[in-house]
Amino acid sequence: MSKSFSGGIHPAYNKAMTAEIPIADMPLPDKVRLPLSQHIGAPCKPLVAKGDTVAMGQKIADSDSFVSAPIHASVAGEVVLVDDQAIEIKTDKEKSRFSGAAQSYNNQGELRQIIREAGIVGLGGATFPTHVKVTPPEGVTIHTFMINGAECEPFLTTDHRVMLEQGQEMIAGSKLLMEACGAEKTIIGIEKNKPDAIEHMSKLIADEPAFAVTGVQVKYPQGWEKQLIKSLVGQEVPDKGLPLDLGIVMNNVATAVAVHRAVEYGEPLLNRVVTVSGSGINKPQNVRAPLGTSVADLVEFCGGLKPEAAKIIDGGPMMGRALSTLDTPITKGTSGILVFNRDEVHLFSEDPCIRCASCVDACPSRLLPNYLALYVKREMLDEAEEINLMSCIECGCCSYVCPSKIPLVHYFQRGKQEINARNRNQ
């Protein structure tokens, strides 16, 4: 019996479209647009001005806040726009080569500083600054480090390919992260629909006594941090708490690779692997693209859109964000760009709730989505908070199973916003 958690759903995975194709490096785009906020925490402030020439890998924005991460130029070139939202650079293709040196450190603090300076954030999509994650507060000891290789969202295969192609780098990065947070052992959790990754990883860690690979049940949202921890060690992270509270730190596969590259080559976060997939794109594949590349350039590299393409999604189909234009940049958190055809797009139409409780059975947080939606619709925010609206992780399982097609996550997002606004005003 596979290890798992209660609730969850089993959507069609559609990973075969891109899982077997090696990662392609796309050519440099003509222009990149780097938003100042690509992470959780305080947005950065620009360090360059319009007209400046920047080198590839140069730090161009930073923040004084602890929970933040600097932004680097992903290409060399001339800064053509600086405003309070983003920095745009016109690429100088000749000069866009990164050169850096190995970084050395004497202690945990210095290692964490290297991670910070490289602008590394959680690349699974949460974009939480990594150096903050590996710095536990006073009195908390971390004993286990975990690598999140679940990748539960349908269509996405970026972590899968990175594990297969950059597995050694990932192990090296994991060792650094283990050192940074002080853990004694590492568990790599991989969903069982990736047997080749499980086998490859097991081989790589054969001589590493501190490492273990565990296959977990294929279920969405297995890759959500708290659910994966439950599946791997059977413990539940406290509702309003963090894995730190259990002495655990978990990072994504690509984050570990980035940490290795930061220390080994002095390379900051300049690019990331994005799964371009879906029935509306001509050549679905995984692409390594410089941060700030526009989705339009990425789509063109993948053969362009099919004529019936109707919806573009940044991320996975369950939690991703629909884009209104292709003129949007790839950021540190963009794990996928999905293109859906017209006949796959569901337009809004809500039937009455029939209290079938499919949502209650599917919710991984053990909430009562039908009542929450009822309360939010009637502005009964106290009652909604009482039955734990704020613990909703917006995974979308409830909306997926609802036969009445009620946009539950949408209501919860609104309700949470209103509760936060109300709490702020008090």
Within residues 208-237, the interface with another protein by CB under 8 A covers: 226, 230, 236-237
Using alpha carbons only, how large is the chain's radius of gyration in Å? 21
Q: Which is nearer to another protein, 208 or 357 (CB)?
A: 357
Q: Which is nearer to another protein, 132 or 393 (CB)?
A: 393
Give the shortest CB-70-to-another protein separation in angstroms.
29
Q: Is 322 in the site for another protein (CB under 8 A)?
A: yes
Q: Is 247 in the site for another protein (CB under 8 A)?
A: no
Of 362-401, which residues contact another protein (CB under 8 A)? Answer: 364-368, 370-371, 374-375, 378, 380, 387-388, 391, 394, 396, 399-401
Whether the Cβ atoms of residue 267 and residue 98 lie closer than 8 Å to each other:
yes
Other C-beta atoms within 10 Å of 126: how many? 16
Whether the Cβ atoms of residue 64 and residue 75 lie closer than 8 Å to each other:
no
**Which of 20, 199, 239, 379: binder of another protein (CB under 8 A)?**
239
- Taking the C-alpha atoms of residue 407 and residue 398, their distance in angstroms, rounded to an integer, is 9
**Which of 110, 345, 382, 423: binder of another protein (CB under 8 A)?**
345
Give the shortest CB-200-to-another protein separation in angstroms.
29
Give the shortest CB-73-to-another protein separation in angstroms.
28
Give the shortest CB-322-to-another protein separation in angstroms.
4
The pair of three-digit structure tokens given for residue 7, joined into one six-digit string: 């609730």
Give the shortest CB-92-to-another protein separation in angstroms.
28
Give the shortest CB-401-to-another protein separation in angstroms.
5
Q: Which is nearer to another protein, 45 or 377 (CB)?
A: 377
Tokens 């305080």 found at: 42
Q: Is 317 in the site for another protein (CB under 8 A)?
A: yes
Of 91-130, which residues contact another protein (CB under 8 A)? Answer: none
**Which of 29, 173, 292, 320: binder of another protein (CB under 8 A)?**
320
Q: Which is nearer to another protein, 140 or 322 (CB)?
A: 322
Q: Is 325 in the site for another protein (CB under 8 A)?
A: yes
Question: What would the x/- binding string for another protein be over residues 145 to 174, using CB under 8 A?
Answer: ---------x--------------------
**Which of 49, 343, 348, 424: binder of another protein (CB under 8 A)?**
348
Of 2-61, which residues contact another protein (CB under 8 A)? Answer: 5, 9, 11-12
Give the shortest CB-82-to-another protein separation in angstroms.
27
Count of residues binding another protein (CB under 8 A)? Answer: 74
Q: Is 347 in the site for another protein (CB under 8 A)?
A: yes
Tokens 């990932």 found at: 170
Give the shortest CB-48-to-another protein separation in angstroms.
31
**Which of 93, 95, 97, 321: binder of another protein (CB under 8 A)?**
321
Whether the Cβ atoms of residue 142 and residue 182 lie closer than 8 Å to each other:
yes
Q: Which is nearer to another protein, 103 or 222 (CB)?
A: 222
Q: Which is nearer to another protein, 104 or 325 (CB)?
A: 325
Question: What would the x/- binding string for another protein be over residues 288 to 307, using CB under 8 A?
Answer: ----------------xx--
Give the shortest CB-240-to-another protein separation in angstroms.
8
- Taking the C-alpha atoms of residue 50 and residue 48, their distance in angstroms, rounded to an integer, is 7
Give the shortest CB-124-to-another protein separation in angstroms.
16
Give the shortest CB-130-to-another protein separation in angstroms.
23
Nearest CA-CA partner of 5 in 233, 198, 319: 233
